[in-house]
Structure 1
């Protein structure tokens, strides 16, 4: 695993940790139907933090573990800012972590 992939893997763990710290981590997965939403970020079936836990984190981990091509851009911080615009203080650390993820993913290897 190269340095960029290692940094991304470490960052995914930090995002997971913050979801747990905030109490947004769930032990039980949403229904298969909810996870299969065709909408971006599953906005019609999942809360943003559910999407992070059940779709984003697992998909990114698989990409890193299989040494697959990583996305060249990420706008996840912008989405999170929209979701948490009414509670920016609560989500401050998560927003910072997602912003750093965006920066890491756009760096060329």
Structure 2
């Protein structure tokens, strides 16, 4: 399995978790939210919205066009802070994001 294949599988697993736990939205947000200059669009999108509307589509675009993927990449640290300890989805999504991050740290385990 190629690195691109592994990344695509991780993205699909994250999407599946978002869908299964009703964090997937059917309608996109207003286009203006994507004009944010803040990391993770933190001033315009909720953390889980950013996964759906920014990270997943952008990574799929890179994969589909066979573009180089980021060399250094980590989103889990943001989600450890952004999702409160009491957030019911936190324990589900953090391991998924950790596995995605590991693919960009050279650790495919």
TM-score if structure 2 supplies the norm length?
0.90
Q: Give secondary structure in 2 for the equivalent of 1:8.
A: helix
Which residue pairs with 1:40 in the alignment? 39
Q: Which runs of 5+ in 1 are unaligned?
A: none
Verify the 8 A CA contact 1:5 1:64 in the aligned structure 2. yes
Where do residues 74-93 of structure 1 align in structure 2 (5 Å cutoff)? 74-87=73-86, 90-93=89-92
Preserved CA contact (<8 Å) 1:11 1:97: yes
Give yes or no for contact 2:74–2:104 (8 Å, CA) kept in 1: no
* Cα distance in 2 between the residues matched to 1:107 and 1:4: 10
Q: Count the aligned residue pairs.
A: 107
Aligned partner of 1:71 in structure 2 is: 70
Deviation per CA, 1:77-102, whole angstroms, max 9, x where unpaired?
Answer: 00111111332553212100100100
8 Å contact from structure 2 (residues 72, 104) kept in 1: yes
Asked whether the equivalents of residues 81 and 95 of structure 1 are also in contact (C-alpha less than 8 Å), the reply is yes
Paired residue for 1:26?
25
Deviations 1:18-72 (A, max 9, x none): 1112211000111111122111000000001111000100000011111111111
How high is the TM-score relative to the length of structure 1? Answer: 0.90
- Correspondence 1:6 to 2:10: no
RMSD (CA atoms): 1.5
